[in-house]
Amino acid sequence: MNCSRRRLLELSGSLLLLSSGVTEAVGESQVVIKMQGTPRGERVWFDPKGVAVAPGTTITFINQDPGNSHTVTAYHPEYFDRVRRMPKAAKPFDSGYLLPNQTFSLTLTVPGVYDYYCVPHEMAAMVGRIVVGTPEMVDWDSSALRAGGVSGHVMTQFPSIRDIFNAS
């Protein structure tokens, strides 16, 4: 694998932050979300499950589950013909399969609600929500909240916008 010095430093910094227990915003421009699971694999989840960030924040996902590969996949027709549960003006994202300790980073600039899931573990309710900006922003897109397209059990696992802002 070819790895630039800059990418190596980014990954090292993310791992250092994770080892210190930081899961919320790191400064104002980076957030780390862990992909986790129980040792026998009976439960899997994103931690935290919901975050609020400013536009332009980089979000780094790291697979800390030693027994499973995971994905970070936007609900969008481009991926598996799913219902779009993200702002219309935003580009969809998919990490592909991440093995243990691998990372995936994205920077979200369009204000609104972004729902995402792990392809092999969606039915185990491995889903998450990122809120970019605040509901008061002029161009804030909340269409994901009304989109449907997921089972009732999975739908109940998305944290509410209020809970996400209260945790920030």
> What CATH number corresponds to the domain at position 60?
2.60.40.420
Of the pLDDT bands very low, low, confident and very high (cuts 50, 70, 90), residue 41 is confident
> Percent of the chain at pLDDT above 70?
83
The pLDDT value recorded for residue 28 is 54
Mean pLDDT of 74-85: 97
Overall pTM surpassing 0.85 (yes/no): no
pLDDT above 50 (res 152):
yes
For residues 59 and 48, give the distance between their C-alpha atoms in angstroms, rounded to a whole number.
Answer: 12
pLDDT above 90 (res 22):
no
3-state secondary structure of 61: strand
Structural domain including 139 reads 5-167
Q: Is the dihedral of CA 72, 75, 77, 82 positive or negative?
A: positive
* Alpha-carbon distances, residue 39 vs 47, 67, 68 (angstroms): 16, 7, 10
Q: Which strand (E) or helix (H) includes residue 167? A: helix 161-167
pLDDT above 60 (res 1):
no
How many separate domains does the chain show? Answer: 1
β-pairing verdict for 30-37 and 44-47: antiparallel
Residues 90-149 have pLDDT tens digits of 999 999 999 999 999 999 999 999 999 999 999 999 999 999 999 888 788 999 999 999
Q: How far is C-alpha 51 from the chain's CA centre?
A: 8
Of the pLDDT bands very low, low, confident and very high (cuts 50, 70, 90), residue 24 is very low
The pLDDT value recorded for residue 3 is 46
